[in-house]
Amino acid sequence: MSEATEAGIDDDLAGLIAGLLRDVPDFPQPGIGFKDITPLLADGPAFDAVIHGLARSAGEGVDVVAGVEARGFLIAGALARQLGCGVLPVRKVGKLPPPTLRRSYDLEYGSAEIEIPAGVLTGRRVLLVDDVLATGGTLRAAAELLAEAGATVVGMAVIVELGFLSGRTALAGLPPLDALLTV
Ligand code: AMP
């Protein structure tokens, strides 16, 4: 595919996503502009286009797609199937049976702790996905946790990047991030 054609597809996809995103002011707390992707996920052709868009940017050599709880699970499962690789949940603390590895981090609103299974990722090449990049704390913590578990994080991908929060700065030094739409 030519670069011009690819750029055209990327622009079309970004427009499709933008048209199906719902902005929810003051959720889950005052001052937060929540980007609701449920209308996008509920639209079959749009969801298909999103998964194909993420698969295009994934490149070769991914063994496992890791998705961040909970909306990241929906993306990771479909993307893993598209790429023909495995899937791994990055979960909130207390949901996975031991042994696990865990890490706490700061969010745009509050703080959180995530956990992954220990012992299944050694030597695996992992693509890390989530729905929204806000401050970048979640993806940084997840990428560091995956590395601690022995995985090689080969890339990260989100549907929407909140550019005004400069989350990419928090991801400096980590593998490249692809965002299908930046707002
Ligand atoms: P952060 O760690 O700040 O990049 O936050 C990213 C995580 O929190 C993702 O799992 C998102 O689902 C969620 N999140 C944070 N801010 C928003 C927002 N404004 N709209 C939708 N989801 C958000």
Q: Is the CB of 167 under 6 A from ligand 1?
A: yes
Closest alpha carbon to 55 in 161, 134, 129: 129
pTM: 0.96
Mean pLDDT by 10 residues, the chain (183 residues): 81 97 95 96 98 92 97 98 98 97 85 95 98 96 98 98 96 97 98
| Residue bearing the CA closest to ligand 1, atom 16 | 134
| Residue bearing the CA closest to ligand 1, atom 18 | 34
What domains, with CATH codes, occur in the chain?
A: 3-182 (3.40.50.2020)
Report how far ligand 1's centroid is from the alpha carbon of 3 (Å).
31
CB atoms within 10 A of CB 104: 11
Q: Identify whether the C-beta of residue 126 lies closer than 8 Å to the C-beta of residue 148.
A: no
Q: Is the CB of 135 under 6 A from ligand 1?
A: yes
Report how far ligand 1's centroid is from the alpha carbon of 17 (Å).
17
| Residue bearing the CA closest to ligand 1, atom 12 | 132
